[in-house]
Structure formats: C-alpha cells, structure tokens
Amino acid sequence: MAKYTLEQLAQLTNGILTKKEDVEITKVAPPKLADVNTLALAMNEEEIENLGSCKAKAALVPLGVNFENISTIEVERPRLAFMKLLNAFYVGPDAPREIHPTAVIEPTAKIGKNVSIGANVYISNNAEIGDNTVLKPNVYIGKEAKIGSDCLFHPGVNIGDFVQVGNRCIIHHGASLGADGFSFVTESPNNIEQARKEGAIKEANAEVKVFKIPSLGAVTVGDDVEIGANTTIDRGTIENTIIGDQTKIDNLVMIGHNCKIGKACTIVSQVGIAGSCIIGDRVVIAGQAGLKDHVEIGDDSIILAKAGITKSFPKKSVVMGAPGVLRKDFIKRLKYLDEAEVMVQKYKKYQHLLEDYEKFLNEDGKI
C-alpha cells in the first residue's frame, strides 16, 4: 500500500500546503467516502461543501479555499493535480517479466528486453516487440508487425500484419488494428453511385456482383497513443491508416481505411469515421458523431456529440447537428424555429380572417 506525507503530496501536485496536523495518506477519494487517512478531493463547489461533514483530515482544493480544521493542498489546476495523485496511487496490472509457457512465438520474431508475454499470446513471423512491453493473455501479433517499447496491450488485442505501434502506447481489451478496409466495387454503377451522381436511383441491378478490394496498406500508430476497448482501426487500401502521437481514442470507436488522424486528438465512444477522412491536430470528436468518407476536419476543431458530418470544415470549427453545421449557424437555425413557432401561432389566430378574405375574393370573381 502506498503511503505519503502531506508534504510529499504537496510537492507532487505543485500545491500550497496549509497543514493543521500530521497525517499519513494511503488513498484518495471524494469527501463523502473519505476516512482519516484519505486525501479528500474537493475540486468543485459541491465537494467543497461536503468537506464540512467528512472524516478526512486533509483535502485537495482549488486556489483560495481554506478550512479551519482540515489541512489543505491548494492547486491552480485541480484536474491536473488529480491526474498526478491517481498515478501515485495507481496499481498496474500484474505483469511478470517472463514468457508464459503457453505463448507461441515464431522463431523469426524479435523480442526486446524485459518483456512480459502472457498466456496464449501469439507472435507471428518477423514481428518485433520493444523493450519493457507487456502483452497480456490472448494477444495476437501479426506478421512483420512492429510494437514499440513500454507498451501495454490488454487481453484480446489483435494486431494485424505489418501494423506499426509506437512507444508507450496502451491498447485495451478486444481492440483490433489492421483488419481489412470496408472497400468493394461492382461491375456497373450501384445504387450509391447512381444516387451520388443523379440524385436518385434510376435502375436497380438485381444480379449485381460485388467484388472485394484488397487492403495492401497497414496501420501506423504514433507514440503515447491510447486506444479503447473494442475499438477498430482498419488498414489502408494502399497507403497506411495513420494515428498521430498523443491521440486518445475511447471504447467502441470505428476508424475506416486510409484515414489520417492528427496529433493529440480526442475521439470519444461510438464515433464512426468513414474511409479516407483527414483529421487535423488536437481535434475533439464527441460521442456518437459520424463522419462520411473523404471529409477533412481542420486543426483545433470540435465536433459535438451525435453530429453528422457530411462535408469538410476548416481549422478551429465548432460543429454540431445532423447534417453538421457550424455551431453559430445551428443556434441561428434554432432561433428561426422559435420565430417560426410564433408566426404559426399568429397565423392560426388570424386564419379565419384570411379564409374569409379569400372567400370574398373568389365570390367577387377576382381570383
């Protein structure tokens, strides 16, 4: 069990310590769940109020917050301090630095130093595993795949042939990198091609034959990337699908073939990105947003939840709605809807007068 003094935690978080008494800290928790050896995390107004009735003798608080009977560590960025504290108390997965006897490693594979390889892991021909990397049970590594140093792959991760993963990457349970892209062609124009070109489906070919387009590319993942559970990233058709350094991808995300995702992006759960999209650096894509193929999103943009993106947007765009539009335009449309509702109510109020006037005109033979 980790144990820290208040002085150590203040130094760790770059905080200002106001100490009432010595206390040994063995865990962190919200004020309502805190005991005497807990550093209570009071990072917002509600949790600060809860400090008055909690058992903790010490708390992490924003700058300017102080209590008579509780030692406080004041920090400028509580969430950043929160991250540092959780890292200090975090207990990682068991990873004995050994190769489990049930693991299968092909003779041409290259294994780095101090690597942990769990039960039933398979490492294919000419694959490379970097130093200090941990492969939990049932991980699959395809042929000529290259995995960097200090990575952690949770159980059930599947890495396809020729995929490259950088250093210090974390990939969670059941993620798939390097499956074939969803790419097909028909002998004659299919319904989708007709609809795109003509705006309608004119002729349906009941005997259409669909041919698979092979995926010759792979997936390249940069350094310090995290990929969530059951997320899928398809290999490129000819060029590689690319995920930039520092990008964080949530659970249940789908990234199609040929996509280029920039650096330090945040992609939230259930996002679907169709093939050949280009996403700039530091882009945030919120939950359940969907992007059609071949769109480009500029650097530092935000795609809000459930947006349906059908066209490209420049850098620093904030986009919402389906089909997606700039946030300012979406709000303007909502305002128009409110105004339209008022107009409808006025119309209903005077509708009988309009009908009487039209009846008068008809009887007078003018219309």
CA distance 166 to 159: 13
Question: Sign of the CA dihedral 325, 331, 332, 338?
Answer: positive
How many other CB atoms are found less than 10 A from the CB of residue 145? 26
Per residue, the 3-state secondary structure of 38-102, as one string, reads: EEEECCCHHHHHHHHHCCCCEEEEECCCCCCCCEEEEECCHHHHHHHHHHHHCCCCCCCCCECCC
Residue 30 near residue 40 (C-beta atoms within 8 A): yes
Coil vs helix vs strand at 135: strand
Of 100, 172, 257, 352, catalytic = 257
Task: Tell me how far apart the alpha carbons of residues 333 and 113 are, in angstroms, rounded to a whole number.
Answer: 59
330: phi then psi, degrees, rounded to nearest 5? -65, -45
Q: For residue 180, what are its two tokens?
A: 């074939």
Burial of 126 (C-beta count, 10 Å sphere; 0-12/13-18/19+): middle
Give the separation between CA 316 and CA 361, rounded to whole angstroms.
56
- Three-state SS at 349: helix
Active site residue 173: no
CA gap 20, 198 in Å, rounded:
76
Residue 113 backbone phi and psi in degrees, to 5: -85, 145
Q: What are the catalytic residues?
A: 257
